[in-house]
């Protein structure tokens, strides 16, 4: 039988500590909430009161339940108040020496069978435990912010943590309505080890002026369905906290350069630009602690219209290709009122893509997304062709053929001969160098990347990729076209992976390496990222959907271009692809999909 916890102590009443107090008190457990001084105790009490009052205002908590919850909490200054509790959770700032001092004192104060837990997100639970005479009763219980809302708890056992202690804490998590993942003591555990490599990489893109903060954040929200962009999330976490976590993971985690803090992060900490809590970080906020972003000197000023930047008028569009992306792009342009010329390799493929577009538009009618008149109008604007010569009078060509550089270069050379002067030539490549295609023509200034996301009719994001030869008016035209399609565009340079894939696939690769090292399971890693970080899909779910062969090809491109050791494709990913386990499309990837 699991141990019954009747009273717990919480040390440190900042945002996390106050949230943990609320979680326990909501679930009928008496809490002794401890701070170092009377003013700090008052701040913690006020944080708890604000949170429960918000829950009442939103109808998520009855006033009577709120009052009962608050009655279960005893506030006290000093650790001596914890002498009778069954479990203590420490939630003080991420400094090892501070935590070790607190645990040494807890060891003296608490009853012999009390479990001592730390909410650390990156420090070694083992190093904290050895400050006590009972390391077998020390465990990590890592809640996520905001603790009352987030479902995930990482339970971290050291090599000496008692199995009974682990089982008791797992049962407690279930009682609290949380989903726990139990793991060994390793830098960053699951969620932070995967999350902070990604955040650090996003800061590196921003630091190098590769893309604006707004475009980096919009790309990851719209392209991946993430709840927040990486730079806004850094501001929420606290730039100083992020620095401490990255620095700890770098030192404890084998000095992986993916976790070496980008210099800009340290500079911002030194300058006091700590994010929301200081009122300024990557963005500027209304006041310290406010979530409301206000314009500052870096906020982009939208032009009056695209043509003020020299954009060209686009009325007729050519789309080359017959795959899923080409089908979606044809539909998007036709529905937005453009005349579209679809060019494929042969009448059979033209008939096939025509049927695919009709089927998709009919689904739109059935779902009430468009009328029959709109469907017929869209179909009436499409011309089906099997010869590139029919692109002689279009204003824009979008290439969506196979991801092979030689094929794309040959196509662009042909388009250069066929198309009239001034036509914008766009590629939908997701990973190949756009400049290679541009230089296959005599008009590199007119070539741009237009990376749509799949399915194109649904996904809001388009990455507009400028090469070092792309003219400003070509970029302006591309952005104006995206706006006319009802899409959000982000502008970035011609580097492998652009914004989304450059940030997404190394994170997925890190997850594969974590699995490969037998640190955790596919299910627990997926749970950690969905429940701890609010991701719509876990990394292994996503890899099986994308296709392991596609993921491997993109990761190889990133590694070849950047030569960063941390970007080398995980051997497990290569082995699965070699074995033909490519994900859902073959019925087997990281999971077996044949019986689902």
| Per-residue CA distances from 471 to 28, 65, 443 (Å) | 65, 63, 10
Sequence-distant (6+) residues with CB within 8 A of 552 are 569, 573, 574, 577
Structure tokens at 285: 């906020």
* DSSP-derived pairing of the beta strands 152-157 and 138-143: antiparallel
E-strand ranges in 440-580 read 447-452, 461-466, 488-493
Contact (CB, 8 A) for 73 and 25: yes
Which residue of the set 51, 119, 121, 342 is catalytic?
A: 121
Which residues pair with residue 491 across a beta bridge?
464
**Alpha helices (runs of H) in 212-309, residue ranges in sequence order:** 213-224, 230-237, 239-252, 263-270
Angle at 219 between CA 439 and CA 486, to 5 degrees: 85
Angle in degrees, 0-180, between the axes of helices 263-270 and 191-207, rounded to the nearest 10: 90
Q: Containing H/E element for 68?
A: helix 63-71
Catalytic residue among 22, 35, 94, 154: 154
Sheet of 447-452: strands edge to edge? 382-385, 339-343, 316-320, 396-399, 424-427, 447-452, 461-466, 488-493
9 CB-side CA count, 13 A: 30
- As given in the structure block, the two tokens for residue 81 are 């108040």
Q: What's the CA gap between 74 and 19, in Å, rounded?
A: 15
**How far is residue 412's CA from residue 437's CA, in Å, rounded to a whole number?**
6
φ/ψ of 455, rounded to 5, equals: -80, 130
Residue 156, classed as helix, strand or coil, is strand
Question: DSSP 3-state assignment of 427?
Answer: strand
201 tagged catalytic: no
Strands (E), 165-236: 179-184
DSSP calls for 310-342: TPPP--EEEEE--SHHHHHHHHHHHHTT-EEEE
Q: How far apart are CA 507 and CA 570, in angstroms?
A: 11
**Separation between Cα atoms, residue 175 and residue 372, nearest integer Å:** 53
For residue 359, count other CB atoms closer than 10 A to its CB: 11
Judge whether 121 counts as a catalytic residue: yes
CA distance 358 to 368: 15
User: Which among 90, 94, 142, 200 is annotated as catalytic?
Assistant: 142
Q: Which of 129, 192, 489, 501 is catalytic?
A: 192
Q: Is 192 among the residues known to form the active site?
A: yes
Q: Which residues are catalytic?
A: 121, 142, 154, 192
């Amino acid at each position: 039988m699991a141990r019954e916890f009747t009273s717990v102590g919480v040390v440190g009443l900042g945002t996390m500590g106050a949230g943990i107090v609320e979680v326990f008190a909501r679930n009928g457990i008496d809490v002794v909430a401890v701070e170092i001084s009377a003013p700090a105790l008052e701040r913690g009490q006020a944080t708890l009161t604000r949170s429960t009052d918000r829950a009442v205002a939103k109808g998520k908590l009855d006033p009577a339940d709120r009052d009962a919850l608050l009655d279960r909490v005893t506030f006290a200054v000093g650790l001596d108040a914890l002498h009778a509790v069954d479990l203590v959770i420490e939630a003080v700032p991420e400094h090892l020496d501070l935590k070790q001092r607190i645990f040494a004192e807890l060891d003296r104060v608490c009853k012999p069978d009390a479990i001592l837990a730390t909410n650390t997100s990156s420090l070694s639970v083992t190093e904290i435990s050895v400050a006590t005479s009972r390391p077998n009763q020390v465990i990590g219980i890592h809640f996520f912010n905001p603790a009352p809302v987030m479902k995930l708890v990482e339970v971290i056992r050291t090599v000496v943590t008692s199995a009974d202690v682990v089982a008791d804490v797992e049962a407690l998590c279930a009682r609290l309505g949380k989903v726990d993942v139990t793991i060994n003591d390793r830098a960053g555990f699951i969620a932070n080890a995967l999350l902070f490599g990604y955040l650090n990489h996003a800061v590196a893109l921003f630091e190098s002026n590769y893309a604006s903060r707004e475009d980096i954040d919009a790309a990851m929200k719209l392209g991946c369905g993430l709840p927040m962009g990486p730079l806004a999330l850094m501001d929420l976490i606290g730039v100083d906290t992020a620095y401490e976590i990255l620095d700890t993971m770098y030192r404890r985690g084998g000095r992986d350069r993916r976790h070496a803090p980008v210099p800009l992060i340290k500079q911002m900490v030194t300058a006091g630009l700590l994010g929301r809590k200081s009122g300024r970080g990557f963005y500027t906020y209304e006041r310290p602690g406010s979530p409301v972003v206000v314009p500052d000197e870096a906020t982009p000023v939208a032009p009056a219209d695209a043509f003020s930047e020299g954009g060209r008028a686009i009325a007729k569009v050519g789309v080359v290709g017959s795959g899923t992306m080409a089908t979606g792009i044809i539909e998007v342009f036709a529905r937005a009122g453009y005349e579209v010329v679809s060019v494929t390799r042969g009448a059979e493929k033209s008939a096939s893509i025509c049927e695919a577009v009709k089927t998709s538009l009919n689904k739109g009618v059935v779902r009430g997304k468009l009328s029959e008149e709109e469907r017929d109008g869209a179909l009436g604007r499409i011309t089906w062709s099997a010869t590139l010569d029919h692109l002689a009078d279009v204003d824009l060509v979008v290439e969506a053929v196979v991801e092979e550089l030689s094929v794309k270069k040959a196509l662009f050379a042909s388009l250069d001969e066929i198309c009239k002067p001034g036509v914008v030539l766009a590629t939908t490549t997701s990973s190949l160098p756009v400049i290679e295609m541009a230089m296959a023509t005599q008009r590199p200034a007119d070539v741009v990347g237009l990376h749509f996301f799949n399915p194109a009719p649904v996904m809001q994001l388009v990455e507009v990729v400028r090469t070092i030869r792309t003219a400003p008016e070509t970029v302006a035209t591309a952005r104006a076209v995206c706006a006319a399609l009802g899409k959000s565009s982000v502008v970035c340079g011609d580097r492998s992976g652009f914004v989304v894939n450059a940030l997404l696939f190394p994170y997925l690769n890190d997850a594969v390496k974590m699995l490969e090292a037998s640190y955790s399971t596919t299910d627990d890693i997926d749970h950690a990222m969905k429940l701890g970080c609010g991701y719509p899909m876990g990394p292994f779910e996503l890899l099986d959907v994308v296709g392991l062969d596609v993921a491997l090809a993109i990761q190889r491109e990133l590694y070849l271009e950047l030569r960063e050791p941390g970007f080398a494709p995980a051997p497990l990913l290569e082995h699965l692809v070699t074995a033909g386990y490519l994900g859902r499309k073959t019925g087997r990837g990281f999971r077996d999909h044949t019986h689902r």
